């Protein structure tokens, strides 16, 4: 995760590990948090994998600049092309970099994801129907208020996500 985020951020140009973290905080912090303890080792791994080149700037702060290689670029693009998966909101991170992807793969993946969402919604609506009926026969309804609320939240969330993706497929304007 930290590796792909770093690669994605380095797509805009070379910078230091410190800069990468700052940019991540300003952009994708909603979905993932980076610590130096994971970032610096990740950068080293990317260098030894040939995805990045490390450049020593012999300035006073002994900072290092990282630049993405052609290989790194292609690795990143392959990750980007993979189907979206709903678990852990990883898809939002992927989406964040979707401008790099070609329109055809993009549409294909977005539509596939829409389909997954619709299945999820249908399933949740079914579960909700059952739970609602069970709840009617129970006297102490209030004892399950938060459990039921979280269920509703899930459904509402899925619906919102579905609407959001529809708008995005239509290239709608975000006034």
Partner DNA sequence: TCGAGCATGTAACAAGTTACATGATTTC
Partner DNA sequence: GAAATCATGTAACTTGTTACATGCTCGA
> Which CB sits closer to its own copies, 74 or 156?
156
Q: Under a CB-based contact definition with an 8 Å cutoff, are residues 42 and 28 in contact?
A: no
Restricting to residues 60-99, name those near DNA by CB under 7 A: 60-64
Three-state SS letters, 47-100: HHCCCEEEEECCCCCCCEEEEECHHHHHHHHHHHHCCCCCHHHHHHHHHHCHHH
Report CA-CA distances (Å) from 45 to 5, 13, 24, 70.
14, 19, 19, 16
Q: How far is the CB of 71 from DNA (least distance, A)?
A: 18
What are the φ/ψ torsions at residue 53 (nearest 5 degrees)? -115, 135
Residue 105 has a CB neighbour count (10 Å cut-off) of 15
Query: Which CB, 26 or 137, lies closer to its own copies?
Result: 26
Residues between 18 and 77 that touch its own copies (CB under 8 A): 26-27, 30, 33
| DSSP structural state of residue 15 | B
Q: Which is nearer to its own copies, 65 or 168 (CB)?
A: 168
- When asked if residue 133 is in the footprint of its own copies (CB under 8 A), the reply is no
Is 97 a residue that touches its own copies (CB under 8 A)? yes
Contacts of residue 19, defined as CB under 8 A and 6 or more positions apart, other chains included, come to none
Given candidates 7, 9, 34, 46, which one binds DNA under the rule CB under 7 A? Answer: 34
- Stretch of 15-23, 48-56, 66-74, 147-155 lying at the interface with its own copies (CB under 8 A): 147-155
Q: How far is the CB of 4 from its own copies (least distance, A)?
A: 15
Residues that bind its own copies (CB under 8 A): 26-27, 30, 33, 87, 89, 92, 95-99, 127, 143-150, 152-154, 156-157, 160, 164, 168, 171, 174
């Amino acid at each position: 995760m930290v590796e792909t985020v770093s690669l994605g951020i380095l797509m805009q140009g070379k910078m230091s590990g410190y800069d990468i973290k700052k940019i991540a905080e300003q952009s994708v912090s909603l979905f993932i948090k980076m610590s130096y303890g994971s970032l610096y080792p990740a950068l080293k791994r990317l260098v030894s994998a040939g995805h990045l080149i490390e450049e020593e700037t012999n300035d006073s702060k002994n900072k290092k600049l990282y630049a993405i290689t052609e290989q790194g670029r292609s690795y990143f693009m392959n990750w980007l092309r993979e189907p979206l998966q709903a678990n852990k909101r990883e898809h939002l991170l992927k989406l964040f970099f979707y401008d790099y992807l070609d329109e055809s793969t993009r549409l294909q993946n977005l539509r596939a994801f829409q389909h997954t969402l619709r299945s999820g919604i249908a399933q949740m609506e079914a579960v909700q129907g059952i739970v609602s009926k069970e709840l009617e026969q129970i006297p102490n309804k209030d004892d399950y208020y938060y459990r039921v609320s979280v269920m509703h939240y899930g459904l509402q969330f899925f619906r919102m996500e579905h609407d959001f993706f529809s708008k995005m497929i239509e290239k709608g304007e975000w006034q």
